[in-house]
Amino acid sequence: MSEHNHVVSKDGGGVAIGLVKETLGRIEPGQREEILSNFDSFRTYLSKRIQLARKIGIGEAQLAQAAEKVADYLATHEEPRNSEEKLLLELWSVGSKEERGRLASMLVKLALSERV
């Protein structure tokens, strides 16, 4: 996959928020199912991606913005597979834009509390 197809620039140049949907859509169905089938798997996957982004200099604000885009994508394109995802979808659905932003920030913090 070429550099311009990634959400996070490998040289630390930032996050291409517009590529979130395209990038998530390229995850193979089997891998997507494995990641989303249980909340711990999702949290671990998210934690690894966030840690990678932090290592190349992506800041908390950009991480939260990317997490918000990922959550929008999941809410629109994926059915919840467990009770945690159902709760997150319900919270996302009733939240205002500001509340969704705070929820995305909290999800980043939750993922970073994961020990991988």
Per residue in 13-68, pLDDT (tens digit) is 556 666 777 777 788 989 989 999 999 999 999 999 899 888 988 888 888 888 89
* Identity of the amino acid at 113: S
* Identity of the amino acid at 109: K
List the CATH number of the domain containing 79: 1.10.760.20
If one compares 99 and 116, the residue with the highest pLDDT of the two is 99
Domain count, the chain: 1
DSSP assigned state of 3: G
* Identity of the amino acid at 49: R
Instruction: Indicate yes or no: pTM above 0.75.
Output: yes
Which domain covers residue 8, as residue numbers?
3-112
